[in-house]
């Protein structure tokens, strides 16, 4: 699958096949106290993986945004680098576009007011992109790695950061950093009770300088039930807001309705 990596220096989001390049459960409260629909466990009880919704239930599409910040990027933020994108969130509100924001715990710590605002806005839902944005496999676009016995704890640390920031109901959905996972990672997260959410449309917004090209890539790739991966990170994806302002009216003109990931999962038979 195509990739939209943010690279070794920054956080990444990239598509990866299931066979690509995982936990002793940590004692803690349930990771995601939400009644959002989830998928049943996969083969051998592994964490289920969701990539797109039904193709035959009408023209729906979910825009998803990775709010990336790795655990070691605090000094860069302190020096003025912006890992948020408030203008993007404002654009989604103006356009009345529901969206799912996959947030790292470190991002929520850096921008708690924004995390709380997004999490309390019914237009959006917050989902988990790990605490550290370290990779859950050994070879994932140069990202540092989480040891297998710390994977579940990293996910639960993110949920704790969301609660501390005031996000009231983070969804039980998890996006692997870099999109990289394997069977061991899926096995490690089984006790957390999350559904792993990938995508079927890569926007290519990471480090892009041409908003029109990003928009065209999305418009060419969307099908009914698609999950589009984009970024909510100003320094690493500076054209995303402009691309969204093109994508939204064009897809609406084609009869598409924007939904959150939870609605696609429910349409695909997700359980509550």
Q: Over the range 139-169, which residues count as b (16 or more CB within 10 Å of their CB) and which as e?
A: ebbebebbebebbbbbbbbbbebbbebebeb
Report d(CA 89, CA 211) in Å as an integer.
Answer: 17
Spell out the alpha helix ranges (H) of the chain.
74-78, 86-95, 105-110, 112-120, 151-165, 183-189, 211-221, 240-253, 261-267
Helix (H, G, I), strand (E, B) or coil at 57: coil
From 183, 247, 195, select the one nearest 221 (Cα to Cα): 247
Helix (H, G, I), strand (E, B) or coil at 145: strand
H or E segment and range at residue 255: none
Residue 271 has what pLDDT?
Answer: 81
From 112, 115, 133, 132, select the one nearest 124 (Cα to Cα): 115
Residue 172 has what pLDDT?
Answer: 98
The model scores a pTM over 0.75: yes
The predicted-structure confidence for 125-146, as pLDDT tens digits, reads as follows 999 999 999 999 999 999 999 9
Within 10 angstroms of residue 190's Cβ, the number of other Cβ atoms is 18
The predicted-structure confidence for 166-197, as pLDDT tens digits, reads as follows 999 999 999 999 999 999 999 999 999 999 99
**Which of the four pLDDT bands, split at 50, 70 and 90, describes residue 270?**
confident
From 71, 7, 69, 1, select the one nearest 206 (Cα to Cα): 7
pLDDT at 26 over 80: no
Share of the chain above pLDDT 90, in %: 85
- Residue 67 is encoded by which pair of tokens? 């709010």
User: Do residues 176 and 146 touch, judged by C-beta distance below 8 A?
Assistant: no
Residue 5 has what pLDDT?
Answer: 40
- Residue 260 is encoded by which pair of tokens? 């959150």
SS (H, E, C) 14-27: ECCCCCCCCCCCCC
Residue 1 has what pLDDT?
Answer: 40
Q: Over the range 66-75, which residues count as b (16 or more CB within 10 Å of their CB) and which as e?
A: bbbbbbebee
Task: Name the phi and psi angles at 196, rounded to 5.
Answer: -75, 135
Rounded to the nearest integer, the mean pLDDT of the chain is: 90
Residue 236 has what pLDDT?
Answer: 95
The predicted-structure confidence for 78-96, as pLDDT tens digits, reads as follows 999 999 999 999 999 999 9
Residue 193 has what pLDDT?
Answer: 96
Mean pLDDT, rounded, for 211-237? 98
Residue 35 has what pLDDT?
Answer: 81
Report d(CA 44, CA 53) in Å as an integer.
Answer: 23
- Residue 27 is encoded by which pair of tokens? 């004692």
Residue 31 has what pLDDT?
Answer: 45
Mean pLDDT, rounded, for 56-64? 97
The predicted-structure confidence for 108-120, as pLDDT tens digits, reads as follows 999 999 999 999 9
């Amino acid at each position: 699958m195509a990739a939209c990596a943010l690279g070794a220096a920054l956080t990444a989001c990239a598509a990866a096949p299931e066979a690509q390049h995982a936990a002793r459960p940590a004692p803690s409260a349930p990771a995601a106290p939400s009644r959002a629909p989830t998928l049943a466990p996969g083969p051998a009880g592994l964490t289920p993986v969701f990539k797109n919704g039904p193709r035959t239930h009408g023209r729906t599409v979910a825009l998803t945004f990775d709010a990336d910040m790795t655990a070691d990027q605090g000094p860069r933020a302190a020096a003025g680098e912006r890992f948020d994108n408030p203008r993007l969130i404002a654009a989604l509100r103006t356009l009345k576009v529901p969206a799912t924001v996959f947030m790292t715990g470190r991002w929520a710590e850096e921008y708690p007011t924004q995390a709380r605002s997004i999490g309390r806005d019914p237009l959006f839902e917050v989902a988990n992109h790990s605490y550290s944005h370290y990779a859950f496999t050994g070879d994932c676009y140069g990202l540092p790695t989480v040891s297998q016995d710390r994977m579940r704890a990293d996910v639960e640390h993110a949920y704790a950061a969301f609660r501390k920031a005031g996000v009231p109901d983070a969804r039980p959905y998890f996006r692997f950093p870099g999109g990289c996972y394997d069977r061991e990672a899926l096995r490690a997260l089984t006790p957390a009770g999350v559904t792993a959410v990938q995508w079927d449309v890569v926007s290519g917004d990471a480090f892009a300088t041409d908003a029109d090209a990003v928009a065209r890539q999305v418009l060419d790739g969307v099908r009914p039930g698609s999950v589009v991966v984009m970024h909510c990170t100003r320094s690493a994806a500076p054209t995303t807001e402009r691309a969204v302002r093109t994508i939204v009216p064009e897809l609406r003109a084609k009869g598409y309705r924007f939904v959150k990931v939870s609605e696609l999962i429910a349409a695909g038979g997700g359980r509550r």
